[in-house]
């Protein structure tokens, strides 16, 4: 064991030099702002503002998807989970990856062929426009809201580690800075600027993770077995009683039947949620055609898969080289594992780089969420539901830009409220809503001829309401007490308040099948629209052939 | 519901009389062949990877001793191999699907699309 454990344990408030972290981060912001300004020309029309003129190539978009998808929660969170819980952290990343096959096979190309800007374009294609768009927009906004809160809270937590700020004032300031930068990127750069921020961030993140991975592997002579052995040995040296458990499943999820069901529920939400995440779906509109949408997903799968393989090495590397005790003692807890490993390997400079990348990650993800939520409000709620389609694309973009500011303010306020909340739970909730409210409706509307408006509304609202209700009455919100310390592990810290009756922390196991069932039940009890057959024929022909699909905007 | 509500349909300026319709295309043999070739590939593949993922998740949840067993004298466990197997299968399906779509599906879909657009098909 090296001296880092001692250093980190002796001075748990601060690792590295805050000014180095801040300098590298400011450099990233400066570079991306220049890119965003350059990308801001031509942002007058909806096709430019929402979809970057549909002119990105598959590889570019695939990289941006990776940048959009690999949030700070997955980078810092998974590495930390592997460092502390070993194999169970790895399980998490597998769900995030396999989920992309759903997007590749069932969704990406068909969605690109039939929609223009939002998920609701596809869901409402052959159904009654206004109610279905409204429902789809609400589901979109709910997912974006939970995901935004998670990222904002993550930004606040990250700064605790990097700047040694423990008080809430400094964390509030960081959340505000992230929010203002997000507004600037999206307001100025639209989808084109946001995409480039995501591409730059993905390249930095994957390069940084790759460098650290190779570094760790070199230290162990490229022998994965000895790295794993050392992780177990470090835990044993620290007096862990279940260090052997790091290499197999069960440390986190294997405690009881309830935790096992929790794990199944999470696994289901992860694998079905990705292809229903509105900010991921919207990225498919930024390429010229379905073939490029397919290439995007292929690139994204390779990048995301490689990245999760890196996190496996980084997680066990942090367990072996930094040690679980020092990670738990650090201000960010499990989330600090990757950062402490960077410090252990490359000192202040590498820590500064990885920390800046983590910040950049949060920025890129929140920008993607903000433009998705703004597009959904302006295009679906304002233009289609309120104005009934009688609005030109310039006016719609004006509304979208104003919405971005509102969303930014909500995200800042919500992020301040969410500081200290369990980030993984917020992300899991976003995935559960996406898998319950969005995915069943997408699949039915693309593949089930008979599917009708009532089925769509029942599936979307059923999935959305059941998710949020079950979460509200789950141990995540109230009544979960740490048996050892008696401290509350719930959102409501007062242990005397307990209105939880739903035992699982993730609602997916119930809400996803329920939404599929309601979609079926609504359809068989509902009536088809008068033009059901014509629209179904048009949608099916267009989705499979690409006839009449939106083209790239010509310069 | 106005046409303006919807994604742009092809066809400006075609005479309405005697035109082809999407329903006509949908009922054609070529389209049926395209659709069934697509579904014959994606449905079984989706079922296969979901079953394989479910197997993995269920083993991890309910057979932790099996998944935690070491291989030989190494620190590599059965569960780790299964997990890496999920990566390998995901990459393999991705490449196989891309190859099939580029070589088999795209030419057929493009040919049909060109005919649909040339004929000025509308609803």
Residue B8 inside a domain? The answer is no
Whether A545 is in a domain gets the answer no
Total domain count, chain B: 1
Contact A538 B49 (CB under 8 A): no
Query: How far, in Å, CA of A439 to CA of A446, rounded?
Result: 11
Residue A371 forms part of a structural domain: yes
Cβ neighbours of A388 (radius 10 Å): 14
DSSP SS3 for A285: helix
Distances (CA, A) of A500 to A309, A428, A479, A504: 37, 18, 6, 10
Domain of A319 in residue numbering reads as 3-422
Two tokens at B97? 């699907």
Of A94, A224, A546, the CB nearest to B83: A94
**A509-538 tens-digit pLDDT:** 999 999 999 999 999 999 998 899 999 999
For chain B, say whether A298 makes contact (Cβ under 8 Å): yes
Kindly tell me the sign of the dihedral angle through the C-alpha atoms of A544, A301, A334, A366.
Answer: negative
Tell me whether residues B7 and A121 touch, CB distance under 8 A.
yes
**What three-state secondary structure class fits B70?**
strand
Q: Is residue A486 part of a domain?
A: no
Provide the 10 A C-beta neighbour count for residue B117: 15
Note the residue count of chain B.
123
What residues form DSSP beta bridges with A481? A488
- Whether residue B74 is contained in a domain is answered as yes
Q: What is the pTM of this model?
A: 0.91
Q: In the block, which residue shows the tokens 């695939």?
A: A62
Q: Which residue carries 């300004």 as its tokens? A: A37
Question: For testing the chain A interface, which of B26, B27, B34, B119 should be mutated: the one with the most A CBs within 10 Å?
Answer: B26
Q: Which residue in the set A250, A547, A550 is minimally distant from B64, CB to CB?
A: A250
Whether B94 maps to a domain, the answer reads yes
Residue B45's CB is within 10 A of a number of other CB atoms, namely: 18
Tell me which residue range forms the domain holding B71: 31-118
> What's the pLDDT score for residue B8?
46
pLDDT in tens, A348-365: 889 888 888 888 888 889
Angle, CA of A355, A214 and A347, to the nearest 5°: 40
Residue B18 included in any domain: no
Distance CA(A303)–CA(A324), nearest Å, equals 28
pLDDT digits (tens, 9 = 90+) for A400-440: 999 999 999 999 998 888 877 777 778 888 999 999 999 99
What 3-state class would DSSP assign to A486? coil
E-strand spans in A346-473?
none
Domains identified in chain A, total number: 1
Radius of gyration over alpha carbons of chain A, in Å? Answer: 23
CATH code of residue A114? 1.20.1730.10
Please give chain A's pLDDT, 555 residues, in tens: 343 433 343 344 456 777 888 888 888 889 989 988 888 876 778 888 889 889 999 999 999 999 999 987 778 888 988 999 888 888 888 999 999 999 999 999 999 999 989 999 999 999 999 999 999 999 999 999 999 988 888 777 777 667 666 677 878 888 888 899 999 999 988 999 999 999 999 999 999 999 999 999 999 999 999 999 999 899 988 887 778 788 888 777 777 888 889 889 989 999 999 999 999 999 999 999 999 999 999 999 999 999 999 999 999 999 999 999 998 888 777 888 998 999 999 888 898 888 888 888 888 899 999 999 999 999 999 988 998 888 888 889 999 999 999 999 999 998 888 877 777 778 888 999 999 999 999 999 999 999 999 999 999 999 999 999 999 898 888 878 777 777 777 777 777 888 889 988 889 999 999 999 999 999 999 999 889 999 999 999 999 999 888 888 865
Chain Cα centroid distance, residue A95:
13
Which one, of A327, A353, A350, lies nearest residue A161 by Cα? A327
B1, B95, B121, best to mutate vs chain A, most A CBs in 10 Å: B1
CB contact under 8 A, B97 and A104: yes
End-to-end CA distance of chain B: 14
- Determine contact, residues A492/A500, Cβ cutoff 8 Å: no
Shortest CA distance from A384: residue in chain B: B5
Is B99 within the bounds of a domain?
Answer: yes
Q: Is A134 part of a structural domain of the chain? A: yes
Are the beta carbons of A105 and B79 separated by less than 8 Å? no
Structure tokens at A413: 């306020």
Judge whether B9 lies within some domain: no
Inter-chain residue contact A101 with B95, CB threshold 8 Å:
no
DSSP A85-134: HTHHHHHHHHHHHHHHHHIIIIIHHHHHHH-SSSHHHHHTTTS-HHHHHH
Per-residue DSSP letter, A246: G
With contacts defined as CB-CB under 8 Å, which chain A residues touch B7? 114-116, 121, 125, 548, 550
A307 at B interface, C-beta within 8 A: no
Question: For chain B, give me the number of helices (H) and strands (E)?
Answer: 5, 0
- Residue B116 has its nearest CB partner, among A105, A115, A547, at A547
Backbone angles phi, psi at B70, to 5 degrees: -80, 150
Tokens coding A97: 């990856």
Q: Do A94 and B80 touch (CB under 8 A)?
A: no
Q: Is A129 on the interface with B (CB under 8 A)?
A: yes
- Contact criterion met (CB < 8 Å) for A101 and B46: yes
């Amino acid at each position: 064991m090296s001296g880092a454990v001692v250093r980190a344990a002796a001075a748990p408030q601060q690792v590295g030099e805050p000014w180095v972290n801040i300098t590298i981060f400011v450099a990233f912001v400066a570079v991306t702002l220049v890119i965003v300004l350059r990308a801001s020309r031509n942002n007058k029309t909806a096709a430019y503002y929402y979809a970057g003129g549909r002119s990105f190539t598959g590889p570019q978009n695939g990289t941006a998807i990776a940048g959009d998808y690999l949030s700070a929660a997955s980078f810092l969170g998974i590495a930390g989970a592997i460092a502390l819980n070993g194999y169970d952290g790895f399980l998490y990343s597998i769900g995030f990856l396999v989920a992309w096959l759903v997007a590749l096979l069932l969704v990406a190309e068909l969605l690109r062929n039939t929609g223009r800007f939002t998920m609701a374009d596809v869901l409402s294609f052959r159904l009654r426009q206004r109610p279905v768009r409204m429902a789809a927009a609400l589901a979109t906004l709910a997912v974006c809201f939970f995901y935004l809160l998670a990222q904002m809270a993550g930004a606040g937590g990250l700064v605790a580690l990097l700047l040694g700020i423990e008080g809430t004032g400094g964390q509030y300031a960081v959340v505000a800075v992230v929010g203002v930068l997000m507004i600037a990127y999206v307001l100025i750069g639209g989808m084109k600027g946001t995409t480039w921020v995501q591409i730059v961030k993905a390249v930095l993140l994957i390069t940084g993770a790759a460098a650290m991975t190779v570094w760790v592997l070199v230290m162990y002579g490229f022998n994965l077995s000895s790295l794993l052995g050392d992780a177990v040995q470090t835990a044993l040296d620290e007096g862990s009683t279940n260090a052997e458990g790091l290499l197999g499943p069960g440390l986190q999820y294997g405690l009881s039947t309830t935790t096992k069901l929790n794990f199944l529920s999470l696994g289901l939400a992860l694998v079905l949620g990705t292809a229903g995440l509105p900010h991921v779906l919207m990225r498919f509109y930024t390429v010229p055609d379905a073939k490029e949408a397919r290439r995007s997903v292929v690139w994204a799968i390779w990048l995301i898969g490689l990245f999760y393989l890196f996190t496996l090495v980084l997680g066990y590397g942090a367990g072996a080289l930094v040690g679980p005790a020092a990670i738990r003692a650090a201000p960010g807890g499990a989330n600090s594992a990757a950062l402490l490993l960077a410090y252990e390997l490359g000192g202040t400079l590498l820590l500064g780089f990885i920390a800046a990348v983590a910040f950049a990650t949060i920025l890129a993800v929140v920008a993607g969420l903000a433009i998705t939520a703004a597009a959904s409000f302006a295009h679906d709620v304002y233009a289609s539901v309120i104005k009934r389609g009688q609005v030109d694309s310039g006016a719609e973009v004006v509304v979208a830009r104003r919405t971005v500011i509102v969303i930014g303010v909500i995200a800042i306020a919500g992020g301040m409220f969410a500081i200290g909340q369990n980030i993984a739970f917020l992300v899991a909730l976003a995935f559960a809503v996406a898998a319950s409210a969005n995915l069943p409706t997408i699949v039915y509307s693309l593949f089930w001829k008979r599917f009708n408006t009532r089925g769509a509304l029942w599936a979307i609202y059923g999935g959305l309401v059941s998710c949020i209700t079950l979460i509200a009455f789950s141990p995540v919100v109230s009544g979960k007490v740490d048996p050892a310390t008696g401290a509350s592990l719930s959102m409501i810290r007062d242990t005397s308040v307990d209105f939880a009756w739903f035992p699982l922390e993730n609602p997916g196991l119930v809400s996803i099948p329920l939404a599929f069932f309601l979609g079926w039940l609504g359809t068989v009890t509902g009536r088809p629209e008068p033009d059901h057959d014509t629209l179904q024929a048009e949608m099916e022909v267009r989705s499979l052939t690409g006839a009449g699909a939106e083209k790239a905007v010509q310069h | 519901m106005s046409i303006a509500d919807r994604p742009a349909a092809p066809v400006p300026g075609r005479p309405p009389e005697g035109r082809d319709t999407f329903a006509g295309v949908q009922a054609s043999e070529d389209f049926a062949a395209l659709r069934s070739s697509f579904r014959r590939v994606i449905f079984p593949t989706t079922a296969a990877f979901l079953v394989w993922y479910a197997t993995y998740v269920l083993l991890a949840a309910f057979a932790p001793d099996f998944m935690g067993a070491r291989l030989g004298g190494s620190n590599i466990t059965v569960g780790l191999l299964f997990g890496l197997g999920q990566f390998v299968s995901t990459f393999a399906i991705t490449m196989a699907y891309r190859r099939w779509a580029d070589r088999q599906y795209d030419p057929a879909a493009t040919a049909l699309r060109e005919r649909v657009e040339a004929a000025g098909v509308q609803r």
